[in-house]
A = this chain, B = another copy of it.
Amino acid sequence: MSQRIVISLDAMGGANAPRAVIEGASIALNKNPNLYFKIFGNQQLIGNLFEQFPILKENYEFIETGTYISDDEQPIKALKNGVNSSMRKAIDAVKENAAVACVSSGNTGALMVMAKMVLGELPGIKRPAIVGVVPNLNGGTVMLDLGANAECDETNLFQFALMGDCFAKIILDKKSPTIGLLNVGVEQIKGREIEKKTYNLLKKSGLNFIGYVEGHDLTKGVVDVVVTDGFSGNIVLKTAEGTARLLMQIMKQGFRNNLSSKLGGLLAKKSLKESFKSVDPNVNNGAMFIGVNGIVVKSHGGAEAIGFANAINVAYDLAQRNINQEIIKELDILQGEMSLGQNIVEKIKKTSARILGIGS
């Protein structure tokens, strides 16, 4: 039997917790039988859920935590008051090497702050980011930052590109992922100062940087990785989600209009469902807090069991392929190969402790 992969789960986060978490674990285990879960949560709320998914039996340990972080809790408050929460304990398990990765559908801000606080940054990485896969017909595009850093500088974006490259290699299984920088046009004169500065850094980086991409290129799948700041990434992601929801709503309405359309809807339903699966957020669920010294995967707050299982699969793949060692290695290579990289890494190493209050 292959080596056991231990993943810690926050059983209490997200709209469908704890059911989606426990059921999701059982689905993931079915795919990867060498998974083992440390599940943190409230026994009273979990009830007899474990018994409903007997496949889990030999492959989990339940740890009672009593408290949990609510979805609307302020991150700083959560950090202060949530020392014994299911979320915190799941992250602690990664810190203590009791798990190789942690997965939660809970409060994004709280999870990010806790992960940074408990695990710290990877050596050389200035700012962790949220990275995920935006679905499209080309197998998906990795995008970061999805919202961890509202304001960034060019060295942040440069490091996002580097981390996105490693993430895409593992999750999209690409040898040399193409990388694009989000902008308002593809011409070199377009954009803000930060895009121009980042463009120049990426041009010299040795990464497979193809230049600027626009909002519509994301859904076209023009590149494997789209790099942007956390403000832009967040509004792009939410706009895409909102637009998709609106169109689905309109389509459903269209089918309800009259008898003919109702019959048409019935006849096409199965096939349409199949087609839309390729862009189902559940299928593409699982964003990583990349740059943190430990694997923390954020599952969508509204994820169902199948979605949570996919987030576990993402954590599994990232752990199996040693994402963080890959990032450190790539940073080292850049440091050796280009004086630019060296400057950035050196500068970051010196200043990260001061700026972030966290040692490098």
Residues of A near any B CB (own CB < 8 A): 74, 136-137, 147, 150-151, 182, 184, 189-193, 214-220, 228, 230-232, 234-251, 253-255, 257-258, 260-261, 263-276, 278-279
Contacts and interface: CB of A to CB of B under 8 A. Distances in A.
Nearest to A151: B192
Contacts of A242: 215-220, 240
Contacts of A230: 184
Contact of A151 (B193, B214, B215, B267): B193
Contacts of A272: 251, 254-255, 261
Given A184-B235, A219-B239, A250-B137, A255 B278 contact: no
Contacts of A244: 243, 247
A71 B320 CA distance: 49
A219 B248 CA distance: 12
Give the oligomeric copy count: 2
A202 to B, nearest CB: 18
A142 B272 CA distance: 32
A150 B257 CA distance: 42
A148 B236 CA distance: 18
5 contacts: A184-B235, A243-B247, A246-B279, A260-B271, A264-B264
Given A251-B276, A264-B266, A267-B267, 4 more contacts: A215-B237, A219-B243, A231-B232, A240-B243
A241 B274 CA distance: 23
Given A215-B234, A254-B268, A247 B245 contact: no
A271 to B, nearest CB: 4
Given A239-B215, A263-B264, A274 B257 contact: yes
Nearest to A109: B185
Contacts of A216: 238-239, 241-242, 245
A250 B235 contact: no
B260 A268 contact: yes
Contacts of A214: 234-235, 238
Contacts of A238: 214-216
